[in-house]
Amino acid sequence: MDYGIGIGGPMGMIAPMAKMVEDAGFESCWAAETTTSSFVTAQIAIQATSKINVGTAITLAFPRSPTITAMEAMDLDELSGGRFICGLGTQVKRVNENRFSVKFEHPAPKLVEYAKVMRTVFAANRGDDVVFEGRFYNVTMPTFGGLRQPAPRDVPIYFAAVNKVMARCCGEVADGLLGHPLASPKYLQEVIKPAIAEGAERGGRKPDECNLTASPMISISDDVDLARREVKLQIAFYATTRTYTPILELHDRAHLVPDLRAAFELKDKDKMVSLIDDELCDAIACAGPADEVKDKVKAWSGIADRLMVSGPWYGPTPARLMENYQSLVETFGT
């Protein structure tokens, strides 16, 4: 199983961080898009490295034209010598409309078309006579004149997916699925993988054409109580979002959601932690000393193709975040 890890923070930290995880032996590093551009972060990481794959987890799709996204993906792939992975996500309605002022409609089928437009642009830049005309996008001029040199490949496109609908879309058209930190091995095995297979059949593909990247939530510390509190608080925070309720339902914990939301509104972190029992904590996350954590992640073996290891961020101090990150690098590097 391959191991990846996220990179982020101030721009001046990106290059040394990317080089550090490459030197540690990770297969990939991944740039998020919250307060900074995922593509700019990825560019810095690419220029600081020579072997590691660099992906975005995730690039927000709908605020961008798919043609622009395809152009930037080709740029980054050329710059990296074929090491770039374009991970796309829909985000939620409120973020799209209130932060980016873009319409949010039918996200799953729209993202499928988005990927098809990108591949149309890739093909057109190799010289193919292609256009795309669909329900959401019409791109009848996918290039601006001449061919691109060197001829671009189809840059791998991954989708972030939590529910069955988006997982089916991944199986149908995507090169990979980026799992959520709340998605347990049980949820991936019993819900996500069958949905990928359904989508693959619909798209005339094989399920293994869609890489499954899991993102286990990991807190490493010899202070077991501290580590468990950190992951429990992060689970509680995520569980307040309706999108993730199906994961709790599979673990018979959906009844916790109203109380978790009430505690979150009151900023009562102790109450949020107390609502997450040890069984649920161990089903979703890994917490404890490094050797125990490394053993616990074996639960994802045979289910995921890659683990993008990550730590809880809702609650820990900046110093503790960096301590855990360094432990992740040391524990999962080769």
Q: Find the CATH number of the domain harbouring 88.
A: 3.20.20.30
Q: What is the DSSP string of 52-118?
A: SEEEES-EESTTS-HHHHHHHHHHHHHHHTS-EEEEEE---HHHHHHTS------HHHHHHHHHHHH
Length of the chain: 334
What's the pTM?
Answer: 0.96
SS3 call for 334? coil
Is position 255 within any domain? no
| 226 inside domain | no
* pLDDT band with cut points at 50, 70 and 90 for residue 232: very high
* Res 146 pLDDT > 80: no
pLDDT of residue 175: 98
User: How many folded domains does the chain comprise?
Assistant: 1
The mean per-residue pLDDT over the stretch 305-334 comes to: 96
Q: Is residue 259 domain-resident?
A: no
Q: How far apart are CA 326 and CA 173, in angstroms?
A: 36
Query: Does residue 243 sit within a domain?
Result: no
For residue 145, pLDDT beyond 90: no
Whole-number Å distance between alpha carbons of 226 and 276: 14
Residue 163 lies in a domain: yes
DSSP calls for 243-289: GGHHHHHHTT-GGGHHHHHHHHHTT-HHHHHHHS-HHHHHHHEEEES
122: in domain: yes
**Which of the four pLDDT bands, split at 50, 70 and 90, describes residue 316?**
very high
Sequence-ordered list of residues with C-beta below 8 angstroms from that of 223, at least 6 positions apart, any chain: none
Check: CB of residue 95 under 8 Å from CB of residue 62: no
pLDDT at 39 (0 to 100): 98
Residue 186 makes CB contacts below 8 A (sequence gap 6+) with 250, 251, 283
Rounded-to-integer distance, Cα 179 and Cα 247, Å: 12
- Report d(CA 280, CA 252) in Å as an integer: 9
- Per-residue pLDDT band for 63 (boundaries 50, 70, 90) equals very high
With respect to residue 188, please indicate whether it lies within any of the assigned structural domains.
yes
Instruction: Quick: pLDDT tens for 247-256.
Output: 999 999 999 9
In which domain, by residue range, is 27 found? 2-221+286-332
Query: What's the DSSP call for residue 190?
Result: I
pLDDT at 323 over 80: yes
pLDDT at 170: 98
Residue 31 binned pLDDT confidence (cut-offs 50, 70, 90)? very high
Q: Which residue has the higher pLDDT, 196 or 1?
A: 196
Within-domain flag for 263: no
